Amino acid sequence: MDGQGQRSEVVVITGASGGVGRATVRAFAKRGARIGLIARGEAGLAEAKRDVESLGGEAIILPVDTSHYDEVEEAAAKVEETFGPIDVWVNDGFCTVFAPFLRIEPDEFRRVTEVTYLGYVHGTMVALKRMTARNRGKIVQVGSALAYRSIPLQSAYCGAKHAINGFTDSIRCELLHDKSNVQITTVQLPAVNTPQFTWGRNKMPKLAQPVPPIYQPEVIAEAIYWAAHHKKRELWVGGSTLITLTGNKFFPGIGDWYLAKTGYESQMRDDPNTHTQPDNLFDPVDTDRDYGAHGAFNNQSLDKSYEAWAAMHKGLLAAVATGAAALAFAGTWVTSSRRAGA
């Protein structure tokens, strides 16, 4: 309970130990949420729990590989046993491989698919089992502009993100058919400054980087928090997401041509890849070191998304537009009246 006797919100966040998931943990924690922290890395989870407690929330650590359904189910049961009914479930956990398709091994491709796609399926399944029985709750799928516009060197990740859109749309239709009060929102992201580009498996000749423009994870976290508390089918964050999704809808062939020319260089830094950095594809790397929310691109990253702000403040913008129109009309009427009286 909070200080006013109201039940604090119960939230589960996958991928909670780092990157966008870690920033989202903080966004909910500072509003007093009780959070189930799901990830694999012990050090990252321990620090995430400390973050929650320092911001006024409560948390339990749940070391889980979301590609295993039984582990996700057990984690959900533990959250409800500890904190009560789950109000919000955020699916964010993933892994990736940076490489041309023909350099990805079958087991690597399968692993990305199992974590990044089936991990969302499992999280959604265990959340819906509980939420539909109570006829309330919210699921937020953390997506990507790459769920609509695939890019080279990330075929496994792009395929999984497309698949998330597909199964989420199907479930949304079923919930509408059943007249359920449970809601699902997808938040489609731009490039984000996270440890993904440090701990993702990288077979490219140079170190990986997000395709600019890059946004700080806190921008995304606030959008996710907003999406968890508003009825919206999909939320796009970042001007690049807006341009990418709109452009791909009308000119997909141009996108193919453009990315064939720019998609390799834009994903690589100037620094050579020594292939000595551990990756988290099969095992976590944040077992004895906390990577936090941010990656290596703080000096290049934006801390605002005007597009997301506009989507989250439509009522205010409509009121401003109405007021501006009224002032314009009044000005025109006064001018016309003066001319008529002249």
Cβ within 8 Å of residue 30, ≥6 positions away: 55, 56, 57
**What residues does each domain of the chain span?**
10-304, 313-342
Q: How far apart are CA 188 and CA 269, in angstroms?
A: 24
Give the CATH superfamily of 10-304: NAD(P)-binding Rossmann-like Domain (3.40.50.720)
One-character DSSP codes across 156-183: HHHHHHHHHHHHHHHHHHHHHHTT---E
> Average of pLDDT values for 154-163?
98
What does the pLDDT read at residue 305? 75
What digits encode the pLDDT tens for the residues 98-140? 999 999 999 999 999 999 999 999 999 999 999 999 999 999 9
Other C-beta atoms lying within 10 Å of the C-beta of residue 335: 10
> Please, what's the b/e burial string for 285-303 (b: 16 or more CB within 10 A of its CB; e: otherwise)?
bbeeebbbbbbebeeebbe
Q: Which of 208, 96, 110, 211 is nearest to 154 (CA)?
A: 96
What does the pLDDT read at residue 284? 95
**For residue 315, pLDDT beyond 50:** yes
**For residue 312, pLDDT beyond 90:** no
Q: Which of 74, 54, 52 is nearest to 63 (CA)?
A: 74
What does the pLDDT read at residue 317? 44
What digits encode the pLDDT tens for the residues 211-231? 999 999 999 999 999 999 999
* Ranges assigned E (strand) in the chain: 10-14, 34-39, 58-63, 88-91, 97-98, 138-142, 183-188, 191-192, 201-202, 206-208, 214-215, 234-236, 268-272, 301-302
Average pLDDT, the chain: 91
| Structure-token match 């700080």, residue found | 216
**For residue 306, pLDDT beyond 80:** no
How far from chain centre, in Å, is Cα 72?
19
* C-beta of residue 62 within 8 angstroms of C-beta of residue 38: yes
Tokens of residue 241, six digits: 């997401």
What digits encode the pLDDT tens for the residues 62-97? 999 999 999 999 999 999 999 999 999 999 999 999
Q: Say whether the peptide bond before residue 205 is cis (omega within 30 degrees of 0).
A: no
What digits encode the pLDDT tens for the residues 277-300? 999 999 999 988 999 999 999 999
What residues are labeled active site? Answer: 157
Q: How far apart are CA 76 and CA 41, in angstroms?
A: 18
**For residue 59, pLDDT beyond 80:** yes
Q: Which amino acid type is present at position 289? A: R
Give the 3-state secondary structure of residue 291.
coil
Give the 3-state secondary structure of residue 141.
strand
Point out which residues pair with 185 in neighbouring strands. 140
What digits encode the pLDDT tens for the residues 173-212? 999 999 999 999 999 999 999 999 999 999 999 999 999 9
